[in-house]
Amino acid sequence: MPAASIKKILVCTDGSPDSEGAITAALHLAQTAGSAVFLLEVIYFVAGYELQAPDSLAPPLVNLELMEVQANAVRERLAGWQAQAANLGVALEPRVRTSPSAYEGIMEEAGEINPDLIIMGRHGYTGLTRLLMGSVTARVIGHSPVNVLVLPRGASLSFQRLLIASDGSPYSQAAWDAALALAQAMGSAVVGVAVAASDRDLPAAREVGRKLEAAAAQAGIALETLIPMGRPDEGIVKAAQFKQASLIVVGSHGRTGLKRLLMGSVAERVIGHAPCPVLVVKKK
């Protein structure tokens, strides 16, 4: 995923401080890549029970007046970002969409503009709330046809040191290819991680590491490999902390339906606890 190939960026905001870093990252990436930025905020449907009799059995109506007030406030907020983008020489188009859920609105927008990358912020939740099945980020990653970049609050986007996690699967291969392309384009240092869940998994993890080293050498990239033990997500996050990675790159398994949203997937857990941005690469 070289920066030059990112022609359109869809960045999602909910108006919270947690999403400001995602917008800033999108603007800086757009400066480098010459990308167009589409800044989206989704307004949820608001049920207006006051518009009908309290004992009515009809479905709740949408309070259109309240929605219009919300939409005007959102447009004003997005216009401020549009002005900031113009000062940076970046073309930013504000987009406001109404939908029953944030994830559906994001997917509808992605289907309309066909972005090359989706950027989202990670909310500052802790503990289990980071991993709740059905979170907006998890749903977008599960259904997005393009790569998704997730930034923790306060994190900045840098390509100085990439950490690529691999389990030898075709999904990891797609992430590896993207990481190599980024490293070559940005002059990044690269750390390869293959986690062994137990002693019996060590030979397979070491073989994955050897394959990564061979591929990196062929591409002219210096690679440092780590083989942590334990749960894959914990090994990846600890390796990122130890090596002070500026970006983690992981693959997204091609699950469908409800399996896309299973709480506890490696990518979702890494995103929930990573100290730096995480790029989830989708296998084409």
Every domain of the chain and the residues it spans = 1-153, 158-284
Kindly report, residue by residue over 215-254, the tens digit of the pLDDT.
999 999 989 999 999 998 999 999 999 999 999 999 886 4
3-state secondary structure of 61: coil
Count CB atoms within 10 A of the CB of residue 198: 8
Which among 2, 247, 11 is positioned nearest to 118, based on CA atoms?
Answer: 11
Q: What is the pLDDT of residues 158-207, one digit of tens each?
A: 999 999 999 888 888 999 999 999 999 889 999 999 999 899 999 999 99
- Rounded Cα distance between 78 and 80, Å, is 5
For the domain made up of 1-153, the CATH class stated in words is: alpha beta
SS3 60: coil
Starting at the edge strand found earlier in the chain, the sheet holding 8-13 runs 92-99, 36-44, 8-13, 117-122, 147-152, 278-282, 247-252, 161-165, 189-193, 223-226
| CA gap 134, 110 in Å, rounded | 19
Closest CA to 237 of 207, 263, 271: 271
Give residues with Cβ within 8 angstroms of 67, minimum separation 6.
Answer: 43, 45, 46, 98
Cβ–Cβ < 8 Å for 208, 168: yes
pTM (predicted TM-score): 0.86
Which of 208, 243, 214 has its CA nearest to residue 227?
208
Residue-wise pLDDT tens digits, 53-84: 444 455 554 566 777 788 888 999 999 999 99
If you search the block for the tokens 């100290």, which residue do you land on? 275
Report the CATH fold assignment for 158-284: Rossmann fold (3.40.50)
Q: Torsions phi, psi of 22, nearest 5?
A: -65, -40
